[in-house]
Amino acid sequence: MFTIEHEFDATVITLVDEGGDLPLQGDITISAFEDCVTVEQFDPDSGDSQQITLSLAQLADLAAALDLPEGSYRLDRRPKP
């Protein structure tokens, strides 16, 4: 299950782990801003939220990586004529 909310400065997606495999993982919140994307998950063991920030270039690399086989790659970011 997931939710999508549009806030003033970001689009927020929350992924809820409903899988049949135990133990379930905590909800993941992804916030897409104009210049970056943050991924946050609450850690019940420490009581803290863990957050990472991806640049838009890193996000593009991640999206491309999901459809590629094992290997090392570099995306061509040059403007197309």
9 has a pLDDT exceeding 90: yes
Q: Answer yes or no: are the C-beta atoms of 41 and 48 closer than 8 Å.
A: no
Euclidean distance between the first and final Cα of the chain, in Å? 41
> Residue 26: which of 41, 40, 6 has the closest Cα?
41
DSSP secondary structure of 49-61: EEEEEEEHHHHHH
pLDDT of residue 10: 93
13 has a pLDDT exceeding 90: yes
Sequence spans of domains, the chain:
2-65
Tens digit of pLDDT for each residue in 16-55?
Answer: 888 777 788 889 999 999 999 999 999 878 889 999 999 9
